[in-house]
Structures are given as C-alpha cells and as structure tokens.
Amino acid sequence: MRAIPKKGSAERDRLIAEHKACIDSMKGVAGCTILRCETPGDTTAVSGGIHEDFVLNRVLLRMRAAMPANGKRKLVVICTEVDKSWRIGRLAGVRGVPPEFVNDKIYDNEQDPQHDIFLMRLDEMEETDGQVEHFHEGWKRRDDNWTVT
C-alpha cells in the first residue's frame, strides 16, 4: 500500500499541485470532485485528477478512510451563509456535539476550503495512516456512542 508522501518531497508537491488544479477547475460546480474540467466550471468534459493520477486517488482514499485515532478529529466544510460563505470545522466525534471552527478564515466558494482541508490532512497524517490494519467494523462496534438496548 502506498505511503502518504513526506513533507518536502517532489511527489507531495506534485499531488498538491494536481489537487489545486482540479479544485480550481471545479469552481462553480456544486460539491467537490477531484477532476479537471476542460472548461472551468463545466463538467461536460472532465479528465485528470483521481481518474488519471493513481497516487492522488490512493492518498485521497486513505485520507477519507483513516480513523482520527491520532487525536485529530475529522475536518469538514461548514456553510455559514447560504451560497456566500464557508469555513472549516472539526467534528467533535460525539453525536449531537456541534463542530468547532479551526480558524477565522472565511471562504467565498465551497472548493477552496476543500483544498485547505487536503493540505491540513497531509500535514496531520502519519505516513502509515489509513493502512488496512487500522480499519474496523464501524457501526458494529459498541464504543461509538450508540445506546445499546
């Protein structure tokens, strides 16, 4: 399984540049997909990103699957004003507890915070995070705050 690229490596810089190019090309499109639009904001013809970059695809899959066991909770984009402003927050990890904002930065589109989350996760993740041995059966566990009856 591929390791998370180390800081300062050419591979990491290449992944960051590809991710940013995909994010920039998707501005104006609802949601977040790591693909490149032939014409920015027009998803009729897409290429690049996770379809053509195997390493980026694997790193994103590991980021999405990794359990925040390192004390860092999951990062999310929070819309603070409909279609006008977004911020980055951390989930509390407990149902019913609202997320906390990570900083005071306010974004004017929903794609830019996705790239910043990607950068934060790259910095936070260990090289081995998201390996097969870190997976568990999820909802079947009894320590995830569900009431057992």
Tell me, what's the pLDDT at 85? 95
Say which residue, 66 or 81, is predicted with more confidence: 81
Reported as a single tens digit per residue, the pLDDT across 22-40 is 999 988 888 788 888 888 8
* Mean pLDDT, range 39-64, rounded to an integer: 85
Contact 90, 102 (CB under 8 A): yes
Q: What is the DSSP letter of 107?
A: B
Mean pLDDT calculated for residue range 66-83: 79
pLDDT at residue 70 above 60? no
Alpha helical stretches, state H, the chain: 10-25, 49-52, 54-65, 112-124
Question: What is the dihedral sign for C-alpha 57, 89, 125, 20?
Answer: positive
Question: How confident is the model over 82-125, as pLDDT tens digits?
Answer: 989 999 999 987 888 899 999 999 999 989 999 999 999 888 88
What does the pLDDT read at residue 118?
94
Helix (H, G, I), strand (E, B) or coil at 132: helix
Degrees to nearest 5, angle at CA 123 with 119 and 126: 130
How far apart are alpha carbons 39 and 31 in whole angstroms? 17
- The pTM for the full model equals 0.80
Q: Is the pLDDT of residue 16 over 80?
A: yes
pLDDT given at position 65: 73
State the chain's maximal CA–CA distance in angstroms.
54
pLDDT for res 33: 85
Which residue type occupies 112?
D
Residues 6+ apart with CB under 8 A from 62: 1, 2, 4, 125, 129, 130, 131
Rg (CA), the chain: 17
Tell which wins on pLDDT, 1 or 104. 104
